[in-house]
Amino acid sequence: MKIKEYRSQFIQELTPIFDAGEAESFFYLILEEKRQLKRIDLALHPDLVFSTEEIGNWNALLEQLKKEIPVQYLLGKTSFYGLDFEVNENVLIPRPETEELVEWIIQSQKSKVKSQKLRILDIGTGSGCIAISLAKNIPNAQVYAIDVSEKALATAQKNAEINKVEVTFLNQNILETEDLRQEFDIIVSNPPYVRNLEKQEIKKNVLDNEPHLALFVDDNDALIFYRKIAQLAQKNLTSKGQLYFEINQYLGKEMIELLEKMNFKNIELRKDIYGNDRMIFGEIAD
């Protein structure tokens, strides 16, 4: 069968579940991974064909997609901040909004002295996407990353090797940590922040497949991780040390109040590409 004919069939079978644009994006993601072909290649060579074996493999993937298993898990990889990352059921799939958080931190260091060693800690690292992207793009950074899940850390370690960066990974429950035992210039975290009351807003493919440990937090104490990490930051950030969070879009005001009460300075709340309150920054006073 010609690939372009199979493409039409593939998209048609997925459109009851996904919109046509998303179904088409899945097709080209798989095509590039399985056949190293891009959209332009198919346009230039419309007579390219799939073998019977390939069609069987594609049909198996199609059935998984119909069950709303994320395409990134089916391929075992995704892209984040221009880097390749392995992903599996033990880690969240990195989001574009988190790339914006990484970009904010990288840009904040552009004017700093490059010879000065920078110590960065990523709390709740998951796939390692934040820690590894920072290590790759801030040459003078010494990066550490914490996660409660040993399986997530194994994935993160593999991703550090794939991207040829050195990150020190630590298996630790941050809620049970009283002191980080060393000082950092930057602490960043994208902790669990989706309240149970917001579950109905979560897409089925996320809800059924991504680790709930990394997603959800109790409705009655939605800021538990932020409060704890901010307390640790008070103890373990250097003078003028920086704290960055990715946050629940509905809790921007509450996050500002939390950081103000804890005496952080120069607090800044930023929106993501979708116009939602998504990132916040605070600084330790001199």
CATH of 81-283, one of 3.60.20.10, 2.60.40.10, 3.20.20.140, 3.40.50.150: 3.40.50.150
pLDDT of residue 113: 62
Our CA dihedral for 120, 125, 227, 100, rounded to 10 degrees, sits at 80
pLDDT of residue 238: 95
Query: pLDDT tens digit string along 80-137?
Result: 999 999 999 999 999 999 999 999 999 999 877 666 789 999 999 999 999 999 999 9
Higher pLDDT, 210 or 190: 190
pLDDT of residue 71: 95
pLDDT of residue 115: 66
pLDDT of residue 259: 97
Query: pLDDT tens digit string along 129-175?
Result: 999 999 999 999 999 999 999 999 999 999 999 999 999 999 999 99
Query: pLDDT tens digit string along 209-240?
Result: 888 888 889 888 999 999 999 999 999 999 99
In percent, how much of the chain has pLDDT > 70? 99
Please say if the pLDDT value at position 66 is more than 90.
Answer: yes
pLDDT of residue 25: 95
**Would the pTM count as exceeding 0.85?**
yes
